[in-house]
A and B are shown apart, each in its own frame.
Chain A
Amino acid sequence: MKFIFVINLAATLLLTGLVWTVQLMSNVILTFSSYDDFSNYPIIYMTNYPVIYIILFLILTLPLMGIEGITAIGLAFSPPEKLSRFVVWIGLALVAIGWLITFYLYIPRQGVLIDGFYQEAFEALVSAGWWRTLAWTARSVLVLWMTVKVIGWSASSPKPSI
């Protein structure tokens, strides 16, 4: 077994917390876009967002997604003991789903919104975001289950004292 198993676990759990927060933030904006007296905010948010925050967001997310993808591939071709190939390939498939939704649905819809706030495009963005959030949540459950199997159920070594 390799350290990539733990790295994969960490990347998935971090990304799950991250995508849930992004998704809930998107829902705040969606709620606000429906207020007649406050419809300006989504426009400010989407079209005039400081580049530095976009860069910071990418610095946070892209390396984590890359690490998760690479380690999931490594696990698929070399599963840890006690794990079947079937389980690790489901894990890799969920990574693929997350990536496909992000790059073929989520980012193109964000690209449309850079030109201006369009209610339908934003609703489509939030909808894609829910599918992505679901994929990462399923991955979290799966990698935690994999960890339970890898750790094992029995106690064998003595507990160290202070």
Chain B
Amino acid sequence: MFARLSLNNGATLMKLVLLANLAATLMMTGAIWIVQVVHYPLFSRVGAEGFARYEAEHSALITLIVGPLMLAEAFTAFLLAMQPPENVSYPEVWIGLGLVAVVWLVTFFVSVPQHSILAGGFDQGAYETLVNTNWWRTLAWTARSALVLWMTVKVIGVERLLS
């Protein structure tokens, strides 16, 4: 009885972890698209005067939403990779974790260094690199959204969704 209870609790927990992962990923996808399409283009229009202050304001505020979401997404993706929810396979959760690794690597080895340059004032090269490479993150998060939604569909049950 206790073994079954434990199994059920673990299985339930992984469903909740999947939902937390889904929420973080989809919110990040909505955020990154608006940053890529609307917010980053504004950078080139701010002007040299005061740009460093603008960059500082932007970084401080965007971190408020992106920081907790990225951490929650990475933590839950790691947990899912360790123990996939029922009906979800190991390759699916490991591809999901791989895509998280892609966005983190691009963020910390490409985006953050460009932001550091821009923090000192507007730099056309850093700006273009930031915008162009942000497409990689945008696509990776979009792919993650599709993948995690697919996992959620599998956990709910395709038959139930079609009935």
Which A residues are closer than 8 A to B by beta carbons?
1-3, 5-6, 9-10, 13-18, 20-22, 24-25, 27-28, 31-32, 35, 37-38, 40-41, 44-45, 50, 53, 56-57, 60, 140, 144, 147-148, 150-151, 153-162
* Interchain CA distance A112-B86 in the complex, whole Å: 53
B156–A159 CB distance below 8 A = no
Q: B35: CB under 8 A from chain A?
A: yes
Q: Summarize A's interface: helix, strand, loop or mixed.
A: helix
| Contact indicator B8/A17 (Cβ below 8 Å) | no
User: At the interface, yes or no: B76 with Cβ under 8 Å from chain A?
Assistant: no
Give min CB distance, B98 to chain A, whole Å.
15
Given known A-B contacts A28-B58, A147-B19, A5 and B46 have beta carbons under 8 A apart: no
B152 touches A18 (CB 8 A): no
Check if B84 sits within 8 Å of A159, measured CB to CB: yes
Using a CB-CB cutoff of 8 Å, which residues 42-62 of chain B contact chain A?
A: 42, 45-47, 49-50, 53-54, 57-58, 61-62
CB pair A57 B38 closer than 8 Å: yes
Q: Which residue of A lies closest to B155 (CB)?
A: A151
* CB < 8 Å neighbour of A157 from B54, B87, B152, B163: B87
Contact A158 B46, beta carbon cutoff 8 Å: no
User: Are B50 and A21 in contact, CB atoms less than 8 angstroms apart?
Assistant: no
Indicate if B1 sits at the interface (CB-CB under 8 A): no
Given A10-B149, A17-B31, also A25-B39 (CB < 8 A): yes
